[in-house]
């Protein structure tokens, strides 16, 4: 009897950890990303004509907040309150089904273009089209609009009532899951990761090659700090986001397994790391 009680207690403790860690991520992540956004709006960073990359960083801070209110919030709600937003109502099903993919894909590609911006800055003597403030704003708007339209079908075709009154998050016209998880694996993880590796390798190569030249000294680029930041960002993206997306695409089960929730928590933890990384490198 005591062994059964102990086992039940352990399972209950594990369930609470799995539930309240995502809730903690929401609170901490929202505060840290808001703080990042506020700091990047201070006078020190207002000269975006010279450093248009700040626009990327501000936008990423906003999307990293949105990231925390999708599947991450559902993990908490499912265990503590017994429901998830994806099947709570038709409205929440459509909105959060859309948000889950739109926010993650937009966030990943904004990071890709930050890497591209850094590569072009390190490899070119003069600014390219991509490095002008107006161009950066066009790129950010294009990324947001593209992924908004790409995932718009969630708001139009998905979610319907079954005969028993429950909500099916799929579409009556076509099957979304796990198809969109496969697509998300490519758009959120594989393609961005490959491009980040390519651009970051180029940045590190050019910084090593020119670290003693006046160009680097005059632009006040800290070779070691930027190199470490690029490597850390890409490495964290690899180990913290890709496993969870692979599990969602190929090993998804209902109800969600504890391992899938742990990997999801690692994925969402990545989206609260901007502030500590910026704090260390700046």
Is 3 part of a structural domain of the chain? no
Please check whether residue 80 lies inside any domain of the structure: yes
Q: How confident is the model at residue 103 (pLDDT cuts 50, 70, 90)?
A: very high
Query: How far, in Å, are 131, 167, 231 from residue 78 at the CA level?
Result: 44, 15, 36
Q: Is the pLDDT of residue 222 over 60?
A: no
> Does residue 1 form part of some domain?
no
- 196 in any annotated domain: yes
What percent of the chain has a predicted confidence (pLDDT) above 90? 32
Residue 64 near residue 271, CB atoms below 8 Å? yes
pLDDT for 174-184, tens place per residue? 888 888 988 99
Question: Per the domain annotation, does 2 fall within a domain?
Answer: no
Averaged pLDDT score across all residues of the chain: 82
Closest among 193, 280, 180 to 241, alpha carbons compared:
193
Q: Give CA angle at 187 (67, 193), nearest 5°.
A: 90
Number of domains in the chain: 1
Q: What is the CA radius of gyration of the chain?
A: 21
* Residue 26, C-beta contacts closer than 8 angstroms, at least 6 positions apart: 68, 69, 72, 73, 76
Domain annotation covers residue 266: yes
What are 161's strand-pairing partners?
167
CATH number at residue 149: 1.20.1070.10
Alpha-carbon gap, residue 236 to 281, rounded angstroms? 15
Q: What is the pLDDT of residues 5-54, one digit of tens each?
A: 443 444 566 667 777 888 999 999 999 999 999 988 888 777 677 778 88
Q: Kindly state whether residue 5 falls inside one of the protein's structural domains.
A: no
The label of the residue with tokens 């107006």 reads: 134
Q: How far is residue 197's CA from residue 191's CA, in Å, rounded to a whole number?
A: 10
The two structure tokens encoding residue 69:
């209110």
Q: Which domain holds residue 134?
A: 13-280
Position 121 confidence tier, pLDDT thresholds 50, 70, 90: confident
In this structure, is residue 76 part of a structural domain? yes
Residue 22 · residue 79 · CB < 8 Å: no
pLDDT in tens, 187-218: 998 999 899 989 888 887 877 776 655 444 54
């Amino acid at each position: 009897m005591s062994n059964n009680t102990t086992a039940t207690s352990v399972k209950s403790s594990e369930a609470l950890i799995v539930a309240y860690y995502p809730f903690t991520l929401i609170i901490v992540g929202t505060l840290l990303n808001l703080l990042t956004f506020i700091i990047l709006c201070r006078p020190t960073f207002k000269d975006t004509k010279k450093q248009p990359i700040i626009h990327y960083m501000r936008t990423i801070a906003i999307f990293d907040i949105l990231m925390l209110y999708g599947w991450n919030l559902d993990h908490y709600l499912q265990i503590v309150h017994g429901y998830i937003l994806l099947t709570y109502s038709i409205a929440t099903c459509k909105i959060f089904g859309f948000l889950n993919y739109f926010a993650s894909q937009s966030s990943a590609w904004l990071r890709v273009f930050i890497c591209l911006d850094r590569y072009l800055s390190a490899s070119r003597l003069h600014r390219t089209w991509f490095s002008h403030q107006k161009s950066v704003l066009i790129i950010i708007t294009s990324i947001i609009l593209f992924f908004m339209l790409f995932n718009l079908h969630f708001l139009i075709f998905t979610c319907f009532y079954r005969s028993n009154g429950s909500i099916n998050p799929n579409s009556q016209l076509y099957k979304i899951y796990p198809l969109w998880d496969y697509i998300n694996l490519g758009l959120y993880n594989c393609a961005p990761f490959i491009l980040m590796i390519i651009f970051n390798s180029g940045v590190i190569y050019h910084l090593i090659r020119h670290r003693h030249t006046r160009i680097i000294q005059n632009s006040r680029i800290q070779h070691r700090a930027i190199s470490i930041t690029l490597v850390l960002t890409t490495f964290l993206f690899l180990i913290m986001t890709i496993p969870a997306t692979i599990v969602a695409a190929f090993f998804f089960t209902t109800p969600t397994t504890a391992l899938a929730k742990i990997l999801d928590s690692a994925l969402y933890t990545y989206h609260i790391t901007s502030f500590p990384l910026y704090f260390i490198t700046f």
